[in-house]
Amino acid sequence: MKSKSTTLKIIVLVVLVMLTCVYLLPIYVMLTNSLKTLPEITQRTYLAFPKIPQFQNYTVALFGSPNFLIPMGKPIINSTIITVTVTLLAAFFGGLGGYYLSRSKSTFSRIIFVLVGIALYMPYQAVIIPLTTITAKSGLANSHFGLILAYLIINIPLASTLMGTFFLSVPRELEEAAQVDGASKIQIFFRIVIPISLPAYASVAILIFTQVWNEFFISLTLSTPRTQTVQVAMAMTEGSTISPYNLQMAASLLTVAVPLLFFLFLGRYFVRGILAGALKG
Amino acid sequence: MISAKIQKRHREGASVAEFLVFTLPLLLFLLILYGTLFWNIYVSMANWVSTAANYTFTGFKWYTYLFHQTRFWVDVQNNLKWLILGVVPTIIAAVLLAYLLELAPFPGLESYVRTLILYPVAMSFVVTGTIWSWMYQPEKGVFNTIIGGLGIHSPFSYVNDPKTATYWLILVFVWQYLGFSVIIIQSSLRTSELQEMVEAATVDGASKLRILLSIIIPNIRSGILVLVSLLLISTLKVFDIVWIVTRGGPGVATDVLATNMIVTAYDMRLASAGAAIGVIIFLMAFIIIIPYTIYALKKWFE
């Protein structure tokens, strides 16, 4: 559909410049202000460039100081533990569930599919009070398992549909040949299906990682000082007198660093994951 | 005879093992999820009003309580604003941008634009909200500095103005979801049938606008439907942006059901009323998601 018209070129150019400004501005504000000194920040010239870049701001944001009482180090570790565990378990169980949904045509599997479909979009507000009760009663409140459980019940249905979408498109010949040779479904899945599905697992893992890392509502209600996640710590820096803006921006950068690096270096998997999630089947 | 029996028992054993491995884990997690959902529905009809749980049945008492509060109706109005203004402009912008990229006269443009507008999907609303609330500051904020630099005294006080605050919050959402919407539209644009139809229309001398309106849009209906459902659900569940940027303020001007839920259940300790708001959000989500799920079901098992 390429076109050579001049008016079109002008339109595209204008749109391009506008988009570039609108999408780079927030990143520019975050980067430049995270490198400023406190006196520079109090002048409130947010668009100006830092005179001398203050790279030690990141160390302060990570480990805290008398000026910055919400060190991001511990929350980053907490979020890493929770997110990595949820990602691995959800991808594993989601692969199994997705394989079932993609290979069974029974009424039962149709019912499961509908239940999974609704579960994907379950508003957390509709389950949070019982979840709080469960974690408090079972003594999980002060360990990471409470949050891990809460994220698993939402992300296993998601991983199942994403993996299932992929398995639907896998040709059956290999599996049928293995079945003729007497291999069981379980053997086929672990020896044949998993190895050829590793790129799909990577897409799903990146998508779930990003989603869980960025999730705020559940971690706000379920996390305790011991299990505080990175988003909750970040939210505490907002509007509080104990965190100067330059350090708040440095903390923002630390919060987005991991998923943003995933996006920049593994963008292909990212896009594939989003598309699989949106266009199930 | 005997070997057939053994074989049958063997097959039964295999299918039990398959059930345990493939179906049971998913089933268990679904059971917990729907268990908590029904538990929450029961809490909304109980009388839980302090830190200690109280499961005395009270019917729809807390729903009536909510319906008599002006705050609840402010929330509903704000949620409706989110549903309409978070979805319609995003989709129009996404379709136009996706079409423009199809026509793109410059090489390399697409991957540049894709990276540029898609990176927000990797960022949390907590961080985007923090940055945008800076940019929105009425005095010397980033936007007003830019407008002032053009020699105009900015009339905007953004999220500090109760009348327009919600619209400025929705703008952050549109900014964050535009890239996501564009790639979904793009993937439904790129079917070979559609490309052929566009080629044919171009040969016939149809204008670009005409091609967009009478060929492309009718043919990407299902992609648009999917996107509408996804955006509706995301705007319905909106919590993070509001909580971070305004916390529902000024007053309750930007309050939505999700922020009200957490204030009611955890700050005011009215767990039953909070649960009732949760049920209301679920029912709204359910209405949105059912047509989409049926569509997905048909596609999946066809």
Question: Within an 8 Å CB–CB cutoff, is residue A257 touching chain B?
Answer: no
From chain A, the residues in CB contact with B50 under 8 A are: none
Under 8 Å between Cβ of A200 and A163: yes
Q: Count CB-CB contacts under 10 A for residue B5.
A: 9
Give the domain CATH number at A253: 1.10.3720.10
Question: Within an 8 Å CB–CB cutoff, is residue A7 touching chain B?
Answer: no
Of residues A215 and A136, more confidence is placed in A215
**% of chain A beyond a pLDDT of 70:** 94
Clarify whether residues A251 and A202 are in a common domain: yes
Clarify whether residues A78 and A147 are in a common domain: yes
Q: Which residue segment(s) compose the domain that A34 sits in?
A: 6-63
Name the residue among A23, A96, A260 with its Cβ closest to that of B117.
Answer: A23
From chain B, the residues in CB contact with A127 under 8 A are: 33, 36-37, 40, 278
Chain B window 24-83: which residues touch A at a Cβ cutoff of 8 Å? 25-27, 29-30, 32-37, 39-40, 43, 53
Q: How far apart are CA A270 and CA A280, in angstroms?
A: 16
Distance from CA of A143 to the nearest CA of B (A): 19
Give the closest residue to B182 by CA, choosing from B84, B86, B92, B95.
Answer: B95
Q: In chain A, how many domains are there?
A: 2
Q: Do B22 and A99 touch (CB under 8 A)?
A: yes
Q: What is the mean pLDDT of chain A?
A: 87
Residue B88 has pLDDT above 50, yes or no: yes
Clarify whether residues A91 and A128 are in a common domain: yes
Name the residue among A33, A100, A125 with its Cβ closest to that of B258.
Answer: A125
How many cross-chain Cβ pairs, A to B, lie less than 8 Å apart? 291
Q: Do A117 and B115 touch (CB under 8 A)?
A: no
Query: In the prediction, which pLDDT does A280 show?
Result: 47
Of residues B9 and B16, more confidence is placed in B16
Of residues A128 and A241, more confidence is placed in A128
Clarify whether residues A25 and A148 are in a common domain: no
Domains for chain B: give ranges and CATH numbers. Answer: 64-301 (1.10.3720.10)
Residue A231 has pLDDT above 90, yes or no: yes
In chain B, which residue's Cα lies nearest the Cα of A126?
Answer: B278
Structure confidence at residue B105 as a pLDDT band (50, 70, 90) = low
Q: Do A263 and B104 touch (CB under 8 A)?
A: no
Question: Is A1 inside a domain boundary?
Answer: no
Distance from CA of A177 to the nearest CA of B (A): 18
Question: Is A134 inside a domain boundary?
Answer: yes
Q: What is the pLDDT of residues B186-245, one digit of tens each?
A: 888 888 888 888 888 888 888 888 888 888 888 888 889 889 988 998 999 899 999 999
Average of per-residue pLDDT across A124-145 = 87
Structure confidence at residue A281 as a pLDDT band (50, 70, 90) = very low
Question: Is A94 inside a domain boundary?
Answer: yes
Q: What is the pLDDT of residues A34-82, one digit of tens each?
A: 898 888 877 777 777 888 888 888 888 888 887 777 889 999 999 999 9
Angle, helix B109-118 to helix A6-34, in steps of 10 degrees? 40
Of residues A156 and A65, more confidence is placed in A156
Q: How far apart are CA B105 and CA B103, in angstroms?
A: 6
Of residues B150 and B239, more confidence is placed in B239
Q: How far apart are CA B136 and CA B131, in angstroms?
A: 9
| Distance (Å) of CA B75 to CA A71, A184, A234, B227, B249 | 35, 54, 26, 24, 12
How high is the ipTM of this complex?
0.90
Average of per-residue pLDDT across B11-29 = 85
Clarify whether residues A81 and A211 are in a common domain: yes
